[in-house]
Amino acid sequence: MSVLIVSGTGTGVGKTVVTAAVAALGLARGAGVAVVKPAQTGLAEGAPGSDLDEVRRLSGVSDVHELARFPGPLSPEAAARAAGRPPLNLRDAAEHAAKLASGRDLVVIEGAGGLLVRYDRAGTTLADLAGWLGAPVLLVAEAGLGTLNQTALSLEAMTARGLALAGLVIGSWPERPGLAERSNLADFETITGGPPAGALPAGCPRAGRAGFLAAARAGLAPVFGGEFDPAVFLAVHSFYPGKAQI
């Protein structure tokens, strides 16, 4: 898995934190890791606070690549249009990622918003980028109410385009999950055909780098370098009517 696409069921679901967790675990096991953000929106050129700034802070990975930035807090295509600038060419982004992958063990690409967010007027999306690179998609989902429809639609779009699912990760698992969060765990299994590949605890970005690495290790599956055990997680947190909870 030399190239991994991180996408979400929408915006604000925890893609950057999951990207940082994957990168941190790769770095911890001695891998050469690069992280790519094809298009950052919502920040002026040179302003701090980008997604890659957060990835660098949390993971310690310094090999980061932002290919375009637009100030409007919009989709990449709309933000480029609002700025009166040409949109990012995702074909160029694919070439850039492929070159990086030739000299690294892992290249993690964090998308903007969801899988089908537009990057140009022709409607090119992160799904196209994943297809060109032959890269699996790690799908990040919310834990609570409303997430099942968004997750199912994202997976349906992936299946229609022949994209491989690297796993489903819950981007922010609450300290005190409610009925919706606990019930959704069983439904995630039904939708994806398997257990989640991880769940990162809410608040872990505030834990400092060592604490974040520990959270990443506990919250991501072994395929990503972690120790997440979905059977244990589901036994503790899932809600099934009539089942005694641990």
Cα-Cα-Cα-Cα dihedral sign, residues 131, 117, 97, 201: negative
3-237 CATH pick, 2.40.240.10, 3.40.50.300, 3.20.20.80, 3.40.47.10 = 3.40.50.300
| Model pLDDT, residue 239 | 83
Q: Given the structure tokens 């160029």, which residue do they identify?
A: 92
| Model pLDDT, residue 244 | 44
3-state class (DSSP) for residue 122: coil
Q: Report CA dihedral (38, 43, 48, 49) to the nearest 10 degrees.
A: -80
Q: How far apart are CA 45 and CA 34, in angstroms?
A: 21
Tell how many helices (H) and how many strands (E) occur in the chain. 9, 9
Cα→Cα distances 245→229, 232, 234, 237, Å: 17, 12, 10, 8
Q: Are strands 3-8 and 137-141 parallel, antiparallel or unpaired?
A: parallel
Per-residue pLDDT of the chain (246 residues; tens, 9 = 90+): 599 999 999 999 999 999 999 999 999 999 999 999 999 999 999 999 999 999 999 999 999 999 999 999 999 999 999 999 999 999 999 999 999 999 999 999 999 999 999 999 999 999 999 999 999 999 999 999 999 999 999 999 999 999 999 999 999 999 999 999 999 998 999 999 999 999 999 999 999 999 999 999 999 999 999 999 999 999 999 886 545 444
Q: How far apart are CA 101 and CA 24, in angstroms?
A: 17
**Mind telling me the catalytic residues?**
37
Q: How far apart are CA 235 and CA 37, in angstroms?
A: 36
Q: Where are the domains of the chain?
A: 3-237
| Residue 228, burial from CB neighbour count under 10 angstroms (0-12, 13-18, 19+) | buried
Looking at the DSSP assignment, which residues form a beta bridge with residue 170?
A: 141, 199
Helix axes 208-219, 15-28, angle to 10 degrees: 90
| Model pLDDT, residue 1 | 54
Q: Which amino acid is at 39?
A: A
216-222 LR contacts (CB < 8 Å, sep 24+): 216/20, 216/21, 216/22, 216/24, 216/25, 217/25, 217/28, 219/21, 219/169, 219/173, 220/21, 220/22, 220/25, 220/169, 221/167, 221/197
| Model pLDDT, residue 246 | 42
